Amino acid sequence: MHDIAIFRSLHKARFDAEPAIYAAPGRVNLIGEHTDYAEGFVMPAAIDFATLVGISPRVDGKIALFSENYGHVHYFDAAQLPLKAGKHWTDYPLGVLSILAGEGHAIPGFSLSLWGDVPLGSGLSSSAAVEVATAVAVTGLMGLNIPRPVLARLCQRAENEFVGANCGIMDQFISANGAKDHALLLDCRDLSFKLAPIPQNVALVIANTMVRHAITGGEYTSRRAEVEAACAVIAGHRPEVKFLRDATVEDLEQWGHEMTPDSLKRARHVITENARTVAAAEALIHHDLSELGRLMAEAHWSYSRDFEASCDEADAMVELAQDLPGLIGARLTGGGFGGCTINLVELEQAATFQESLAALYAGQTGIVPQIHICHASGGAHRIE
Per CB under 6 A, which region of 30-38, 53-61, 235-243, 294-302 contacts ligand GLA?
30-38
CA pair distance 71, 320, nearest whole angstrom: 39
**288 an active-site residue?**
no
- Please report whether residue 34 would count as binding ligand GLA according to CB under 6 A: yes
Q: How far apart are CA 138 and CA 256, in angstroms?
A: 47
Please identify which residue in 118, 210, 215, 340 interacts with ligand GLA, judged by CB under 6 A: 215
Q: In Å, how far are 45, 127, 143, 274, 380 from 22, measured between CA atoms?
A: 19, 16, 14, 33, 7
Candidates 29-37, 114-122, 276-284, 317-325 — which segment interacts with ligand GLA by CB under 6 A?
29-37
- Burial label, 60 (beta-carbon count in 10 A; 0-12, 13-18, 19+): exposed
Q: Return the closest-CA partner of residue 112 out of 195, 47, 56, 191.
A: 56
For 261, residues 6+ apart whose C-beta sits below 8 A from its C-beta are: none
- 54 vs 168, beta carbon nearer ligand GLA: 168
Backbone angles phi, psi at 10, to 5 degrees: -65, -45
Rounded to a whole number of angstroms, the minimum distance from the CB of residue 297 to ligand GLA is: 17
Q: What does each C-alpha distance from 215 to 9, 165, 172, 378 come to in angstroms?
A: 34, 6, 14, 25
**Three-class SS state of 84:** coil
Determine, following the binding rule CB under 6 A, whether residue 116 of this chain makes contact with ligand GLA. Answer: no
Q: Should residue 334 be labelled a site residue for ligand GLA when binding is judged by CB under 6 A? A: yes
Residue 5 C-beta: closest distance to ligand GLA, Å:
32
Site for ligand GLA in 152-181 (CB under 6 A): 167-168, 170-171
Q: Of 124, 352, 125, 240, which is closest to residue 248 (Cα–Cα)?
A: 240
Pick the stretch among 33-41, 130-138, 199-207, 235-243 that binds ligand GLA (CB under 6 A). 33-41
Q: How far is CA 294 from CA 271, 275, 297, 328, in A?
A: 17, 13, 5, 8
- CB of residue 205 to ligand GLA, shortest distance in Å: 19
| Lateral strand order in the sheet of 327-332 | 327-332, 340-346, 202-208, 370-374
Between 33 and 39, CB nearer to ligand GLA: 33
Q: Of 36, 48, 171, 315, which is the active-site residue? A: 171
User: Is position 40 an interface residue for ligand GLA (rule: CB under 6 A)?
Assistant: no
CB of 227 to ligand GLA, least distance (A): 10
| Binding of ligand GLA by 11 (CB under 6 A) | no
- Interface with ligand GLA includes 335 (CB under 6 A)? yes
Binding site for ligand GLA (CB under 6 A): 33-34, 36-37, 167-168, 170-171, 215, 334-335
Which residues are marked as active site?
A: 171
